[in-house]
Amino acid sequence: MTKKRSLPWEPNESASRIVVQVGRRDGAAPRPFGFPVRVLGIDPGSAATGFGVVEGTANRMRLVECGVIRPTRGADLADRLLEIHDGIAAVIDRSTPNCLAVEGVFYGENARTAVILAHARGVALLAGAGRGLAVAEYPPAEIKKAIVGTGRATKEQVAWMVQKLLGLSEPPRPSDAADGCAAAICHILIGTGPLAKQAERAMP
């Protein structure tokens, strides 16, 4: 029988509420959401699941909070997945996002790693759906392209751009938290999920 454990996550204390202006790198004005949204971005993993809550439009956004959910090391996979699910659900209850943006599985990984990551991604989707959130998924390369301008960007480049876009004094740490923020920013910038379609219909 699965035993429910405590849910340790690591909130990033540097997640300040600074508001910044965001523009496209080609100088053109980005096409914003019709209204501000609060997005919970998730970088799923069985050992560490990064998350970032970002609020705003494509022109104006701020970091609400970010951190990492770390399930109990050495626990059975089912128990770790339960902790990840409950940890994400707790973040949703605390930060009340409008939608969930999840980084998809990179299939260049070996088969076993890809399967385990798919499990973690599945519980993230379940946590969002269970709370009635609209859910969007983005391939890693699409997130990198939205944030940095190239799908081949390194983790360091993504973290640096997240820092700049959110006006932080340093990149969110650890890197899993920065990746969670990147997923949320990606959804706000390119908005291909259900909430984006709703916003587009509301625009004059």
Residue 176 annotated among the catalytic residues of the structure: yes
Rounded to a whole number of angstroms, the distance between the first and last alpha carbons of the chain is 55
Active-site residue identified among 65, 86, 103, 179: 103
CA dist 197 and 204 (Å) reads 13
Name the pairing type of β-strands 37-43 and 20-21.
Answer: unpaired
Which residues, listed in sequence order, are joined to residue 51 by a DSSP beta bridge? 42, 67
* DSSP label of 1: -
Alpha carbon 153 to chain centroid, angstroms: 17
Which residues neighbour 92 within 8 Å (Cβ) at sequence distance 6 or greater?
40, 100, 127, 128, 131, 133
Residue 142 annotated among the catalytic residues of the structure: no
Active-site residue identified among 65, 86, 176, 179: 176
Residues 59, 204 contacting (CB under 8 angstroms): no
Active-site residue identified among 43, 65, 83, 137: 43
CA dist 25 and 154 (Å) reads 18
3-state secondary structure of 172: coil
Instruction: Annotate 156-176 with b (16+ C-beta within 10 A) or e (fewer).
Output: eebbbbbbebbbbeebbbbbb
List active site positions: 43, 103, 176
